[in-house]
Amino acid sequence: IFMRLSGKTAVVTGGARGLGAHMCQMFAAEGAQVIAVDLGEMTYSDKGVEYYQLNITDAEGRKKFFAGTIEKYGKIDILVNNAGITRDAMTRKMTDEMWDIVIDVDLKGLFNLTRYIGPQMEANGQGAIVNISSVVGEYGNIGQANYAAAKAGVIGLTKTWAKEFARKGAAVRVNCIAPGYTMTDMLKTVPQELLDKFAAMTMLGRLGQPEEIASAALFLVSDEASYITGQVLSVNGGMRL
Ligand code: NAD
């Protein structure tokens, strides 16, 4: 049977649960060898998915992970930068710690991991990167200045890397998904009445399911998207914040 990711090595950060877990399992089902990178514990088991414990803000850990993965698999073909956190507060109440940790994980962590893996793809002549931004990075949101800044930054990185990693002719594509509100642990801190309001703000009248984000990621990393790069795909049921 035809599998879309046969022979590919895929790294998914934040792959232990939530959106990342769905991506890992979907990629493995399409024939990829998947490495789920996460600082938290694994929440499922799948023979095509290997768990690697790493906090993406840890410089030594990142180096060790990259060197070890290249030694073991020879190359990384697919990277999904999905790990992310929120620490919400109104701007006047936002502490330095809340600002710093969200920028450190959602923006700097993503940059620092990709600064190894992107150039490796370039040297290898091919690769696909998907960065996970957010509807909040596109439109802003009350109480999420740190997160909106980081997620808007992810869009800038996507467009920059799409140019940089392909500039010498390598078939390296870099795209971004901006999910709307999707049912995962990340929404546990959001009050139900706000979730209802967000659902009502979509054209489809509901929140997203993790599979609906994962299948967009699968499309973008597969050869079906071979002429798509530098784009932001908004997967949000038709939402405008
Ligand atoms: P989640 O909290 O369920 O999963 C996030 C995963 O990332 C967790 O497994 C966590 O342990 C891991 N992680 C966090 N910090 C890490 C670090 N420093 N190093 C390694 N791993 C780390 O959340 P989710 O909803 O699955 O979110 C996945 C991505 O999608 C995030 O980037 C999030 O900002 C984005 N997003 C989510 C939604 C939504 O509504 N769920 C909407 C838009 C964007």
Catalytic residue among 52, 73, 116, 147: 147
Average pLDDT over the chain reads 97
pTM value is: 0.98
Quick one: pLDDT at residue 224? 97
| Pairwise CA distance, residues 236 & 210, whole Å | 11
- How is residue 225 written in tokens? 């998207």
Q: Which residues of 106-145 are buried (b: 16+ CB within 10 A; e: fewer)?
A: bbbbbbbbbebbbebbbeeeebbbbbbbbbbbbeebeebb
Q: Measuring from atom 8 of ligand 1, which residue has the nearest CA?
A: 14
What pLDDT, in 10s, does the model give residues 64-89? Answer: 999 999 999 999 999 999 999 999 99
What is the number of the ligand 1 atom nearest to the C-alpha of 14?
A: 7
159: phi then psi, degrees, rounded to nearest 5 = -70, -35
CB proximity list for 90: less than 8 A, separation 6 or greater: 142, 143
131: phi then psi, degrees, rounded to nearest 5 = -100, 135
Residue 213's SS3 state is helix
Each of the 241 residues of the chain gets a pLDDT tens digit; together they read: 789 999 999 999 999 999 999 999 999 999 999 999 999 999 999 999 999 999 999 999 999 999 999 999 999 999 999 999 999 999 999 999 999 999 999 999 999 999 999 999 999 999 999 999 999 999 999 999 999 999 999 999 999 999 999 999 999 999 999 999 999 999 988 899 999 999 999 999 999 999 999 999 999 999 999 999 999 999 999 997 7
What pLDDT, in 10s, does the model give residues 34-63? Answer: 999 999 999 999 999 999 999 999 999 999
How many angstroms separate the alpha carbon of residue 14 from the centre of ligand 1? 6
How many angstroms separate the alpha carbon of residue 84 from the centre of ligand 1? 4
What is the number of the ligand 1 atom nearest to the C-alpha of 208?
A: 40
For ligand 1, mutation pick of 184, 190, 198 (most atoms within 8 Å of CB): 184
Task: Provide residues with CB under 6 Å of ligand 1.
Answer: 13-14, 16-20, 38-40, 54-57, 82-85, 105, 109, 132, 134, 179, 181-182, 184-187
Beta bridge partners of residue 89, listed in sequence order: 144
What is the number of the ligand 1 atom nearest to the C-alpha of 151?
A: 34
- 227 flagged as catalytic: no
Quick one: pLDDT at residue 78? 99
Q: Length of the chain in residues, anyone? A: 241
Quick one: pLDDT at residue 189? 87
How many angstroms separate the alpha carbon of residue 181 from the centre of ligand 1? 12
Quick one: pLDDT at residue 241? 72
36: phi then psi, degrees, rounded to nearest 5 = -90, 110
